[in-house]
Amino acid sequence: MAQHRTPARDLALIAVFAGITAALGLIPAFYTPFSPAPITAQSFGIILAGAVIGGRRALLSQLLFIALVALGLPLLAGGRGGIGVFASPTVGFLVGYVVCAGVIGWFTFRKGAPYSIAWGLLINVLGGMVLMYAFGIIGMMAVAKLSFPAAILANLPYLPGDTIKVVAATLIARGVHAAYPGLLPWRGTKVEDAPSEKVEA
């Protein structure tokens, strides 16, 4: 099946996935005594964006989300928003939202169709957990003044929930790509970052 990408379609996908991340903020944040940053559902939106719409669009969708937060919209879990959140221990994760969505999307589309559960899990774990935690640890060390070992320990409570998010996002992405095969380029075709090009799928 051949599919033409258009700027309007790209903008729609960017807006939709920014909206998904924002909607996940309606799920209450959960604080633990072990970490200065809350457990939220919003990282699920980051993983899903990368796994479904590719690196550039996923990155831009989360950049849009973060920009709206910076402008004061209370889109983060718990109704948080405004420039002040970037001076909180959460800042590393907020930067990670943008970067990790782009990385997951780039590797997913580099791998190409058909979408593989095994590869999807690997990419989503590396991008949505390992890389995200790296940003989170740096943020906690910089803002909360935690030591490196303490920052690692502060991230441990996220593991069970993030594992569930990775599995769920991978399975949903598999279903989306099965239903809309034109989203993901077949191996050997150019990766998705030219809006007006024809992609064979």
The two most distant CA atoms of the chain are separated, in Å, by 53
Encode pLDDT of 21-79 as tens digits.
Answer: 999 999 999 888 888 899 999 999 999 999 999 999 999 999 999 999 999 999 999 99
Q: Show the domains of the chain with their CATH numbers.
A: 2-200 (1.10.1760.20)
Q: Structure tokens of 194? A: 């030219």
Q: Structure tokens of 62? A: 């989360």
Encode pLDDT of 86-141 as tens digits.
Answer: 999 999 999 999 999 999 999 999 999 999 999 999 999 999 999 999 999 999 99
Residue appearing with tokens 């095969």: 181
Q: Where are the alpha helices (DSSP H) in 26-130?
A: 42-53, 55-70, 91-111, 117-125
CA–CA dist 14, 16 (Å, integer): 6
pLDDT of residue 65: 98
Distance from CA of residue 173 to its chain's centroid? 13
